[in-house]
A and B are shown apart, each in its own frame.
With several copies, the nearest count.
Chain A
């Protein structure tokens, strides 16, 4: 196994373009057999949400996601890993977060992307506040226990997940 690659992490207000990010990750390479992308979007099933305000801890958001990403590239043989997380106001249907993981084979790419999202959800310093369509404040989104539980499955050595 070759040395872990350097993950790319960006924290930004602007939207991102998954196609552009995928192309940048794979450009000119013939050692990538599998690319898994995860995109997290702003949902509004009830039709009552005007926007989500994403607050973050500047500096730590980037540092913490890099710490998680470094664990991922040490654990799986990745050819590329890229994470983008937005802050500021997003509207229903808008992108919030993207993880792209590339590898020779699919299982490493799937596992690394899922691992990144599980830890990003519970450790990256971002908080969502709802703004309702009727002008009222919807309050802060509450953390879900299921997200903490999801991180537990990565405690085993990675060979046991295969």
Chain B
């Protein structure tokens, strides 16, 4: 599965995208966030205020309780500041 990161999430993790193989028990966005936070200090720092992280699956906003099965691309980013 492809993960993409933007803004300070990207900066703190240290790269803009990666391919990951998820364990079978990671089935929701919330599960993905806590699994990622355990992958190292940079992930832990980037995701420590998990509730502030916005998530899109296949380029559509989703809530943290959304299921991730069938996702091709999951994006993590801070609240948006465009406009």
Chain A positions within 8 Å of B, measured between CB atoms, are 40, 54-57, 59-61, 63-64, 85, 96-97, 117, 120-129, 140-143
Chain B positions within 8 Å of A, measured between CB atoms, are 4, 6-8, 56, 59-61, 75, 77-83
A60 touches B80 (CB 8 A): no
- Closest CB in chain B relative to A55 CB, distance in Å: 6
B61 touches A123 (CB 8 A): yes
**Main DSSP-derived SS at the A contact region:** mixed
Given contacts A57-B59, A60-B56, A60-B59, whether A129 and B7 have CB atoms under 8 Å apart is: yes
B80 touches A143 (CB 8 A): yes
A97 touches B82 (CB 8 A): yes
Instruction: Return chain A residues, CB-CB under 8 Å to B59.
Output: 57, 59-60, 63-64
* 10 A-B residue pairs with CB within 8 Å: A57-B75, A64-B61, A97-B82, A121-B82, A126-B80, A128-B82, A140-B7, A140-B81, A143-B78, A143-B79
Instruction: Return chain B residues, CB-CB under 8 Å to A123.
Output: 61, 80
Given contacts A55-B7, A140-B7, whether A125 and B83 have CB atoms under 8 Å apart is: no
A126 touches B81 (CB 8 A): yes
A141 touches B81 (CB 8 A): yes
**Residue from the list B6, B8, B79, B81 in contact with A57, Cβ < 8 A:** B6
Instruction: Return chain A residues, CB-CB under 8 Å to B7.
Output: 55, 127, 129, 140
A120 touches B82 (CB 8 A): yes
Instruction: Return chain A residues, CB-CB under 8 Å to B83.
Output: 40, 85, 96-97, 117, 120-121, 124, 126
- Closest CB in chain B relative to A145 CB, distance in Å: 10
Q: How far is the CA of A122 from the CA of B83 in the complex (A)?
A: 9
